[in-house]
Amino acid sequence: MCSSDGRPRDARTPRYDDPWYDALAAGWGESDVTEAPDTAPPAAADVYLEVQRSAAFQEVRSRYRRFVVPAAAGFLSWYVAYVVAATSAPDLMARPVAGAVNVAMLAGLGQFLSTFLLTWAYARHARLRRDRAALELRWDTQELTRGTKGGVA
């Protein structure tokens, strides 16, 4: 079996340099040799509490909140303004803009456009500002729950 770059790959040895390779999480690639560990691995609840208290986790949550709270507030305000304008100012919403297109139609299309833009902005923000740190936390958590060396930085 060869890797994507043409080099031969040992099927028994999982690659740890690829962060998307999830062999250990699925239980594959583990050795068949069962050795008694020197110490018992920590309880999962303790590991997750340790990760939750870590500075890296707090930074990921902070980045998430700094984007989501203003974005949700802005989008909700825009939606409520559209509904209020449609119900309380029908003359404004019925004002023609070009031919049969009126202000209400443009605002409604603006709702769809802003939904797509917000989705794109969220995905971009997650990819650029949170995914790498969250993936590193995931790897640290897996290492801690398995009792291997490593930890939350």
**pLDDT (0 to 100) of residue 40:** 62
Structure tokens at 39: 């110490």
Mean pLDDT, the chain, whole residue set: 78
pLDDT in tens, 16-29: 555 555 555 555 55
The answer to whether the CB of 137 falls within 8 A of the CB of 152 is: yes
Structure token digits, residue 4? 């994507």
Tokens matching residue 63:
């980045």
* Distance, C-alpha 40 to centroid of its chain: 32
Lowest-pLDDT range of 61-70, 74-83, 114-123, 125-134: 125-134
Residue 43 has pLDDT above 90, yes or no: no
pLDDT band at 131 (very low <50, low <70, confident <90, very high): confident
State CA 91 to chain mean position distance.
43
- State how far the Cα of 125 lies from the Cα of 127, in Å rounded to an integer: 5
Q: In the chain, pLDDT over 70 holds for what percent of residues?
A: 68
